[in-house]
Amino acid sequence: MSAVIIFLFFGIAVNFVVAANSHIYSGYSVHGVQLRHRLDQIVLYNLQTDLNVDLWGHGAPEIRDAFIMLSPENRMEVLDILDSNGMKHYLHIADVAKSLKKHEADLSSWHHGRQNLEPYETYARHAEINAYMERIAIQYPNIAKLVTIGESFEGRDVKYLKISTSNFANTSKPIYFMDATMHAREWITTPTTLYSIHRLVEDLREEDKDLLEDVDWIILPVVNPDGYEFSHTENRLWRGTRSVNETTNELTNTSCVGVDPNRNFDVNFNTLGVSSNPCSQIYPGHEPFSEVETRYVRDILLEHIDRIQIYMDIHSYGSYVLYGLDNATLPANAVHQHHVGAAMGANIDTAKLPNADFYAVGNSNLMLYGTSGAASDYAHVVGVPMSYTLELPDYEYGFDMPPQYIEQVNMETWKGIAITGRLAALYYNARVRS
Ligand SMILES: *[C@@H]1O[C@H](CO)[C@@H](O)[C@H](O)[C@H]1NC(C)=O
Ligand SMILES: *[C@@H]1O[C@H](CO)[C@@H](O)[C@H](O)[C@H]1NC(C)=O
Ligand SMILES: *[C@@H]1O[C@H](CO)[C@@H](O)[C@H](O)[C@H]1NC(C)=O
Ligand SMILES: *[C@@H]1O[C@H](CO)[C@@H](O)[C@H](O)[C@H]1NC(C)=O
């Protein structure tokens, strides 16, 4: 035991191993698609459900292009459909396998000569992320408590930190609940949560003291550890969980694995933006909360529902702050949610890279498209006043953003988290809880 603690206190050397089989994407390409209006978005969503097109970036009409990944099998047919709808498109990545190889080289060189990378400075493995949270809890016992909520489908410990000056006993404070990596391949999302832990606990600055004094924090850096590890070791572009259901496979004569966790929550389940094909990236599962990982998010929400003022579900990519509902019905407090979401987007914009997109803020359905079973909708419907899906930037790299951008994304996203933390306290104390 003492050996373990010594190891923890002397820092966690993040150990990088790459083996992500990039060759499985040999011949795959990514195309930008210009969107003129909502009908163009609908064409893309139908391609997603009908031809299994992998939608990388949603795009928004006249704001930014969508990005789709095509396989050698579906490419001709999909491009023909775009052409026949008069939709302009262009080649963005000619060979996905090659760009993933480049990504692996980027990661190796990032680690080369950097012995003491912290888990928020790289794309750390799940065990390293858990070890970081353990170290924080051991070193700062008065502020940070580590909770193991249970095991993932494949048996990994799902852990989160509770950060509070009063061990969550002062109920006059709001709770801010953030989570990340619900979708496995969205690697940039986890560093922003770890960096938030770092800024609240290890590097609390004078100007941020109110955030620790006035707000309690729940930070769950990896919702979907099985998918995340699979995206490190087997398939960089894996999105869903890794659960196996033999009955479904027999019934559908498939051997597919996993469901889309962000379609698996119990809100308008299996109605919009889903596919009944268990092999699809947007298969919602056979029933709400079929996935143990989404049940954990549900359980955290319900345990603290009286005090969670903001739920921030962090995804990538596209630079959006989105609120519900996903079926285009605006919540009663939509004006407040918009106000807080816009403050987040604008604050991030003040620190963005010159060439990066400005954040776009709005209702998820009206901005992007209809979905169902999403975590942020579920949180709002069960009583979290302000519930968002945050889509981080990608700087046109897609999911395989080089690690030298992590620091920038952490820093700018923290600005958005800080302002929304302050607004959470303000709204909570004014009893704006509808
Ligand atoms: C509870 O938190 C609020 C907000 O930070 C603070 O004003 C109050 O003094 C705290 N109460 C106790 C008993 O510490
Ligand atoms: C697998 O899916 C079927 C429906 O296809 C469902 O009835 C069954 O309960 C599921 N099994 C498990 C273990 O979740
Ligand atoms: C099931 O799939 C296999 C291989 O894909 C195929 O050979 C077989 O005919 C299918 N069976 C049914 C009942 O569709
Ligand atoms: C949208 O979803 C909410 C929550 O389930 C529901 O109350 C509302 O009636 C739905 N709106 C439409 C247009 O279906």
Q: Whose CA is nearest to atom 14 of ligand 1?
A: 170
Q: Which of 186, 229, 293, 391 is catalytic?
A: 391
Give the number of whichever ligand sits closest to the CA of residue 380: 4
Q: For residue 327, report the distance from its CA to the centre of ligand 4, in Å.
A: 6
Q: For residue 70, report the distance from its CA to the centre of ligand 4, in Å.
A: 33
Q: Say which amino acid occupies 290.
A: S
Token representation of residue 33: 């698609």
Pairing status of strand 144-151 against strand 157-163: antiparallel
Which tens digits make up the pLDDT trace of 74-91?
Answer: 999 999 999 999 999 999
Least confident interval from 9-18, 202-211, 384-393, 408-417 = 9-18
Q: For residue 96, report the distance from its CA to the centre of ligand 3, in Å.
A: 30
Residues in the chain: 434
Q: What is the CATH number of domain 27-94?
A: 3.30.70.340
Q: What is the pLDDT of residue 16?
A: 52
Instruction: Please state the rounded mean pLDDT for residues 297-301.
Output: 98
Task: Name the region of 211 (left: φ>0; alpha: ψ -120 to 50; beta: rest).
Answer: alpha
Pocket test for ligand 2, best of 244, 287, 291, 294 (most atoms within 8 A of CB): 287
Closest ligand 1 atom, residue 425 Cα = 4
Q: What is the pLDDT of residue 13?
A: 47
Q: What is the DSSP string of 216-262?
A: EEEEES-S-HHHHHHHHHT-TT--S-----HHHHHHHT-------GG
Active site residue 202: no
Confidence band of 407 (pLDDT split at 50, 70, 90): very high
Q: What is the pLDDT of residue 434?
A: 54
Burial status of residue 323 (CB atoms within 10 A of its CB: 0-12, 13-18, 19 or more): buried
Kindly report, as residue ranges, where domains of CATH 3.30.70.340 are found in the chain. 27-94
- What's the topology of domain 123-230+290-433? Aminopeptidase (3.40.630)
* DSSP for residue 78: H
Nearest to residue 352, comparing CAs of 319, 323, 399, 321? Answer: 319
Residue 376 near residue 387 (C-beta atoms within 8 A): yes
Q: For residue 170, report the distance from its CA to the centre of ligand 1, in Å.
A: 6
Rounded-to-integer distance, Cα 168 and Cα 420, Å: 19
CA dihedral 376, 378, 379, 384 (to 10 degrees): 110
Higher-pLDDT residue of 20, 21: 21
Decide if pLDDT at 204 tops 70.
yes
**Ligand 2 shell residues, CB under 6 Å:** 245, 247-248, 251, 286, 290
Pocket test for ligand 4, best of 266, 272, 329 (most atoms within 8 A of CB): 329
Instruction: Please state the rounded mean pLDDT for residues 294-314.
Output: 98
Q: What is the pLDDT of residue 107?
A: 94
CA dihedral 138, 180, 429, 323 (to 10 degrees): 180
Decide if pLDDT at 5 tops 70.
no
Confidence band of 380 (pLDDT split at 50, 70, 90): very high
Closest ligand 2 atom, residue 248 Cα = 5
Instruction: Please state the rounded mean pLDDT for residues 307-326.
Output: 97
Q: What is the pLDDT of residue 19?
A: 57
Confidence band of 433 (pLDDT split at 50, 70, 90): low
The CA angle 119-125-129, to the nearest 5 degrees, is 50
Instruction: Please state the rounded mean pLDDT for residues 296-315.
Output: 98
Kindly report, as residue ranges, where domains of CATH 3.40.630.10 are found in the chain. 123-230+290-433
**Ligand 1 shell residues, CB under 6 Å:** 170, 172-173, 213-214
Confidence band of 430 (pLDDT split at 50, 70, 90): confident
Confidence band of 53 (pLDDT split at 50, 70, 90): very high
Decide if pLDDT at 167 tops 80.
yes
Q: For residue 381, report the distance from its CA to the centre of ligand 4, in Å.
A: 10
Q: What is the pLDDT of residue 157?
A: 98
Confidence band of 49 (pLDDT split at 50, 70, 90): confident
